Chain A
């Protein structure tokens, strides 16, 4: 790790202001992604702003009948929250499918949303990577692509977003709340929060420099039967090859978001009308325009079959 100075933030607005003021500053929450990357010098913050003391660790009802999840609510606590288990089961399931008990005890809502890709070349500092070092090239294209994106990639980057939680939040139409360094706040729909790589894969979200996530809000419960099915190379403690977050209503309509296939949680609202016709037409519409490599084309079939098994279970 490179040396860094450290401070504890006292309020969200002050944390954001401090982050904008200090060159090379970063927030640290659970630390489970940031420290991993700092040890490899993939992240080299000169200053850490510890946000753990901010009172953003509660899950509260909203006036609209939804839930407001503080940025610092730990993944374990969110998954175990009674209201989440009952009304937003897809979110509990996604959280519990990710990482391990030890990691979930530390990992926070905001940190999980901002965790960086697991592309093996991003992690290998001897390789070119546009995300790690803008303009250096992409070692993954033409390399080992099995875990990488099949849709939404660019000539610059074909990495995937590794979060399970974010996929469920995409299916639930969550909204990310933030405070900016000038003290103003805003709400970013999850659909607009994560970006596709385009020509700037190092810019991963809609956040501005110094902008702090304060909460994620969920709209009133979507009802239906909720599923998060994750397919991976081992039964636990592994990232998704493909995952399906689904909310399926009694009449067969519903919502589907995919993990493991793109640079962001992948959801195509316009394709969801096909759900009543079955997994094949629905997944064909969701993954329309996919550009897999021979190594990761299996993800298309896997996504369709995973959705088929979810729909079969939903029908009972």
Chain B
């Protein structure tokens, strides 16, 4: 899994690619989000378009990131989950918790 952060004014987009699974992807996701929260970033978009799948550890870390962001007064939103990831978000009802966007400009403008 790879995570690259891009800053657009007050919003940060993190492009994630690969798979978010136990022992690697979940840790990289946690580290990437924690680094942004520590820098004081408040508006974060996780771009999931390049993520092929996640397992329970990856999904669990996504929820953990959401909670940590909220504790720091920050907001985490999701962009473009691929087919499998979208299925998992629906299955777990996490699509009811997260704001999910199809279009990056719309996501950026939503903060």
Q: Do A and B come from one complex?
A: no
Interface residues of A (CB under 8 A from B): none
Interface residues of B (CB under 8 A from A): none
